[in-house]
Amino acid sequence: MAEVSILDSVPYLLMAPSKRIWVDYDDEADVLYISFYKPQKANDSVMEDNVVYHYRDGKLVGITVLRASEMYHSDEGH
């Protein structure tokens, strides 16, 4: 059930670096964008696997998840 999966994220959302979170998904590109600040104004980025972490002066301001649907489908069996 999708509702249960979304609710599983609540503890992580409460630990986010800001109280407001913007989430956008581009289904054509299969990219999920998560922003903790608008505008992000990132001045550094680090890529690990399919995830890009965006930083401004050492503070996490956003996350970009490439091939996001593949990550979701890989978790379905768990």
Please tell me the predicted confidence (pLDDT) of residue 36: 95
Q: How far apart are CA 78 and CA 62, in angstroms?
A: 27
3-state helix, strand, coil in the chain (%, to 5): 25, 35, 35
Domain containing 54 equals: 2-75
pLDDT per position as a tens digit, 8-49: 888 988 999 999 999 999 999 999 999 999 888 999 999 999
What is the edge-to-edge ordering of all strands in the sheet holding 44-48? 22-26, 31-35, 59-66, 51-56, 44-48
- Reported as a pLDDT band with limits 50, 70 and 90, residue 78 is very low
Overall domain count for the chain: 1
Looking at the DSSP bridge assignments, the partners of residue 51 are: 48, 65
Please tell me the predicted confidence (pLDDT) of residue 75: 54
